[in-house]
Structure 1
Amino acid sequence: MAPTAQELLAAARELQPALRERAAQTEAERRIPKESGEALLQTGLLRAVQPKRWGGSEVDPWVFNQAIMTLAEACGSTGWVLGVVGVHNWQLGLFPEEAQEEVWGEDPSLQISSSYAPTGQVEAVPGGFRLSGTWAFSSGCDLCDWVFLGGIVPGAGFDMRTFLLPRSDYRIDDNWQVMGLRGTGSKNIVVEGAFVPEHRTHRMADGFACQSPGQAVNPGPLYRLPFGCVFASCVAAPAVGAARGALRALVDQAEGRFSTLDGQLAAEDPIVRSVLARSASEIDAAAASFERHWEELLALAEAGAPMPIPLRARFRSELAFAVERCTRAVFDLFQVGGSRAIFDDNPLQRLLRDAIAMRAHAINNPDKAGQLRAQVELGANDDAFAGFL
């Protein structure tokens, strides 16, 4: 029996102490440690949005977003990997049934990493496509046996797809030497002339239209949601968690830290108190935006109603601005954390680096997401947004 929503959230909370203890190890190894990866699988967290027919929990995205936030509060890298890898179990549910069977037929616990930017070459060949090139930033790839790669099919029109490849068709190039999200192992994927059959592809336009082949066997409301919103929420949620972690760290440290200038207890410093209160409000508002928009979208999905473009554009913009607000909150909290905040063993500096790296993801760019919303508000053609909303 797959875990319920309540059991998944409880499991996420129970993992926090161990993840905090392993945070330094996670950064040193530049990937999620074996113990953490096993815990994500054993608790069912990685399979939270996997179809029930494959043994997943098939919970709604807000539940999954909360689990991601909870883990990221303890370790930004682990929360990030849960979000980015875990959401792929949802997307595979949109692929044709034959592709789902290939991946999960013998072992439904197998995981998929990704790199969606279409940086490789795609050639149309009989029965499918041939891929070559290098794709970057494949978070959690060491934990996975398959990969999603983005590519554009040559020919008339804009046909961007996700291509599904087994581990035997690619190699991992370890180039992950970075300042933030060090433990995500977001390495390069290198492909040399791999054949991908038609059924192992998913059209971006189908995800945008909420009409994907996998819905024939996964008809629940979870799989009627727009790809752009589901994926974006899972790469935005870790920033909320990181900000909560920074808030907790400041509170814990302020209760026992005294100023070397005037001997004042940090917890009694009005500047510290002001920053703490403002940051807490920003973080709470960011999380509330997730919940509010998911309530609206899920109600539509359950009713079998269309997903309005203005609502989707608003949500995408709000997600990116939530990341921006949380990143600023972490920076503000770090600034009042005292000189000890710069030490390697202080979670404030780690969470700040992680938040900056999260904000750097293209999906989390508030200017780009804001432009999408503004264009919709100004009456631009829906076709211009296929796949991004």
Structure 2
Amino acid sequence: MSDTPRLHHGGATLLERARDLRTMIDRESAAAEAQGRLTGPVVDALHEAGVFGMWVPEPLGGAELSPKELLGVFEELTYADPSTGWAVMATTLANGTGGAYLGDEAVERIFKGPRMPLIAGQGTRPGVAVREDGGFRLSGRWSFASGMLHSQYAHSAAAIEGTGEIRIFVNPIEDVRILGNWDVLGLRATGSVDYAIDDLFVPESQTHDFTTDRPLRGGAIYRLGLLDQALICHSGWALGIGRRLLDELARHASSRAGRPGQIAGSDAFHTDFARAEAAFRAAAALIHQTWDDVESTLESGGTLSVRQETMVRLALNHITSTVAETGRFVYASGGTSALRDGLVQRLFRDVCAGAAHITSGPQVLAECGRELAGLAPGRTWTVFTLEDTRP
């Protein structure tokens, strides 16, 4: 168990470095979209800026940013390019939780190089693992492994045969069979391929309980557990793409001001834009308010209440649905400029893809409503559902 109960704050350095990379990431985004993965210059620049270590525990040389600091970096990178923000959030989450929860032998091997390792994979739709002396035999097929084409290690969930316990397994990328079927509507540059692992022995130290909130190294952020930390990722991504969508529409309208029949002269457009801006800002405010409350709890050494667990899920669900509606408004308002291949079209496709993620699904929203209405007494959150954990 970590002996650092307080929340670690890394400061604004990585946010400033991410902001400095905005122009370069934006410039490379079309090439990344075409090749189905981030470009080499972007990956190298993110390494050089230290971005891939932002979630890694401070004892391992990482920045160990706080939740609010992570939100800021993800927002900035996503604003530059939604696929970059998505690939970075997926790999840095796996880097951070791997560094916090894996055994000492695994961590010594994985985090020993001059560069931070990249770990990517899939923590849902688990494979199967059979316990064996000193570890497990792992097999399965996983989908949507964001960032895997840039990674050195795979992070995969699997159910233990006989017990049903879900564990995370981390193994070298050489042990993975990449299936290469990345043919999607949006977030094309994330390279979120499907992959398979066949009867692979994984030592115990390269695994951890999916539900653990007891870090072996690092501070209070890791007491959130893997799932709640994943909600930080998707919240920061929604902040970035929502802001970029509205800014691009404003630029589009301004560039056509003074021409007859353009939206710049339409009172109906002005009204709808004001409503879209207000809706996005309100949803963003709920994200910041909710994570401010979480940080206060972690700072005091506490654990999240059921209501706080509800609110981090609700805030994400709400901003995700808000930016999805923002995307539809921007696309409809963009006319033929949005219809043709280009930035607005890509942003629209990306927001449609991102909004489909399981973390913002309808089941989660229904469970949030049940808890908020006082209809789930004695229940606690288990991933995306409320369960009765009383003896």
Aligned CA-pair RMSD = 2.1
Q: 1:128 Cα deviation (Å)?
A: 1.4
2:360 is aligned with 1:364? yes
Length-normalised TM-score, structure 1: 0.90
For residues 100-119 of structure 1, the aligned pairs below 5 Å read 100-107=107-114, 109-119=116-126
2:251 maps to: 252
- For 1:255, the aligned partner's letter is S
Report runs of 4+ in structure 1 exceeding 6 Å deviation. Answer: none
Match of 1:330 among 315, 327, 332: 327
8 Å contact from structure 1 (residues 204, 387) kept in 2: no
Shift of 1:182: 0.5
Q: Does 1:139 align with 2:142?
A: no
- Structure 2 spans left out of the alignment, 5+ residues: 1-8, 387-391
For 1:183 and 1:272, how far apart are their aligned partners in 2? 32
Counterparts of 1:45 and 1:277, CA distance in 2: 35
Q: Indicate conservation of the 8 Å contact 2:257/2:265, yes or no.
A: no
Residue among 267, 270, 275 paired with 1:273: 270
Kindly state the Cα deviation for residue 109 of structure 1 after the two structures are TM-superposed.
0.8
Deviations 1:110-162 (A, max 9, x none): 11001112342221212211111211110110111001101111224x41111
Q: Is the 8 A contact 1:11 1:43 kept in 2?
A: yes
Q: What letter matches 2:369 in structure 1?
A: A
- Whether the 8 Å CA contact 1:55–1:108 is kept in 2: the answer is no
| Partner residue, 2:311 | 314
In 2, distance between residues paired with 1:383 and 1:198? 29
Select which of 321, 344, 351 maps to 1:348: 344
1:97 to partner: Cα distance? 2.7
Structure 1 position 258, deviation (Å): 5.8
Q: Aligned to 1:178, what secondary structure does the other structure show?
A: coil
Q: 1-side partners of 2:115 and 2:255: how far apart?
A: 48
Aligned residues of 2:231 and 2:312 also touching (Cα < 8 A):
no
State the percentage of identical aligned residues: 27
Deviation at 1:378, TM superposition (A): 1.8
CA drift at 1:380: 5.1
CA gap 1:387/1:349 in 2 versus in 1, 3 angstroms: closer
**Alignment match, 1:291:** 288
CA distance in 2, matches of 1:109, 1:320: 31
Tell me by how many angstroms 1:303 deviates.
1.4
Where do 1:122-201 residues align within 5 Å?
Answer: 122-156=129-163, 158-201=164-207
- Count residues with an aligned counterpart: 375
1:318-357: CA deviation from partner (whole Å, max 9, x where unpaired): 2112111111111112211122211112x11111100010
Give 1:311 shift: 0.8
Alignment partner of 1:59 out of 42, 65, 85: 65
Distance 1:167 1:195 in 2: 14
Q: 1:171 to 1:188 in 2, by over 3 A?
A: same
What are the residue-to-residue correspondences of 1:68-79 with 2, within 5 Å?
68-79=74-85
CA drift of 1:369 comes to 1.5
Closer, same or farther in 2 for the Cα pair 1:132/1:29, shift >3 Å?
same
How has the CA–CA distance of structure 1 residues 307 and 81 changed in structure 2, closer, same or farther, with 3 Å as cutoff?
A: same
Cα 1:266–1:375 shift into 2, 3 Å = closer
Per-residue Cα deviation, 1:231-254 (whole angstroms, up to 9, x for no partner):
122023222211211111111111
Q: Name the CA distance, whole Å, in 2 between partners of 1:340 and 1:62.
A: 35
Partner SS for 1:118: strand
Q: In the alignment, residue 253 of structure 2 is paired with which amino acid? A: A
Q: Which residue of 1 aligns with 2:214?
A: 211
Q: Contact between 2:149 and 2:191, CA under 8 Å: does it hold in 1?
A: yes
Q: CA deviation at 1:287?
A: 2.1
Q: CA deviation at 1:386?
A: 5.2
Letter in 1 for 2:229: V
> How far is the alpha carbon of 1:387 from its aligned partner?
7.7
Quote how far apart the aligned CAs of 1:364 are: 2.0
Segments of 5+ residues of structure 1 without an aligned counterpart are: none
Q: Secondary structure at the match of 1:226?
A: helix
How do residues 30-45 of structure 1 correspond to structure 2 at under 5 angstroms?
30-45=36-51
TM-score between both structures, scaled by the size of structure 2? 0.90
1:161-182 C-alpha deviation (Å, 9 max, x unpaired): 1111111211222110111001
CA distance in 1, matches of 2:121, 2:340: 33
The aligned amino acid for 1:348 is: V
Q: Give the Cα–Cα distance (whole angstroms) in 2 for the partners of residues 233 and 200 of structure 1.
A: 24
